[in-house]
A and B are shown apart, each in its own frame.
Chain A
Amino acid sequence: MENRIDVSQLMADIRMRANAELRERAFDRGNTPEFSDAELFDLVERVLRGAVDDADRKVLLLSEILAGNKDVTLEPSARLTSHRPVVGPFIVFVKRRLLQPLTQWLYEYSMDNFRRQAQINRILFATVQALAIETARLRLELDAAHDSASKRGSGAA
């Protein structure tokens, strides 16, 4: 077909322009002088975007390390119980049949926000993981550079 348009090329151009606009906003009005460097901005954007895009697909190390720690676990579902031995079942019945329907609107509102919070946590964990990987990589490169420099130093001596 004549004049066929390659969407991947077009999207690369659109993304470049969108990134330039975003950088300008973040630099000029966002009080982040580091973003005056376009190359640095692109690297930062790539790391953060990669973390966000893959957040749902990854086993996150931080989640695994924290697993089972009740202090950092969201517990959105209300457990309807009573500690009273005799009237307990009646109290639970009243809670379930009367109080729960009355507070349904609050429950649904909270649930929606808990879901959003859980998703934000996941994205933040993914971002921390991406940054930790970058740091670890730099650490390894730095160690290798030190090693080779010290070898060169001892060889010269």
Chain B
Amino acid sequence: MIAALYFSKMDHSPELARHEDRDRFVLSKGHGAPALYAALAECGYFDREALFTLRRMNSILSGHPYSPSTPGVEVCTGSLGQGLSIANGLALANRLDGKKGRVYVMLGDGETQEGQVWEAAMSSAHYKLDTVVALLDNNGLQIDGRVAEIMGIEPIRGKWEAFGWAVREIDGHDMGAILAALDWADAPDGKPKLIWAHTVKGKGVSFMENKVGYHGLPPTAEELERAVAELSAS
């Protein structure tokens, strides 16, 4: 989904990083930072070599997005539940100034257990922010186990629709479906959009798929080799 945003959908560029009409992305589930960093490096926001310094001292790449040190990162996230509110502020400011940039925000499914997400969901709908697009990364897992067992968040569609959102459910690994959903979200219909994406944590790596343990655990060198081999073969 981040690839779809950065390499296709979003109007952005590192040369015009402060370009006022740009589309913006807020990674509310800040622990997904490595994916964001990879996309930013690929787009040229910083040197790819920086990726190998992730989470190390003096790196520009913190464990969670830290905007003061990383080009292309809009705000700090990681303490969960704050990104949608920030997206609303960005969208309201754009509306005031007649800027056409859209604001994309990625939420984790476990993250929606945070009350602030629902305060923000209410605000997006109240202010008819149809330029706000939330992508829900519904992999069904959180740190302590399965979302459904830790603190169930269903009915997902019912909750978001009741809060005034338009909801589209997709397979989060189907690039065609992701791009179609992002185009669907362009509709200027006065409603914020939720792209409810079913995903599999660790997708494409047999021994990582759907494993709670890999939420924040890097692979060993041997695991990395197997994982890269599997991903290259697929």
Chain A bound to chain B? no
Instruction: Give chain A's interface residues, CB within 8 Å of chain B.
Output: none
State the B residues within 8 Å of A (CB).
none
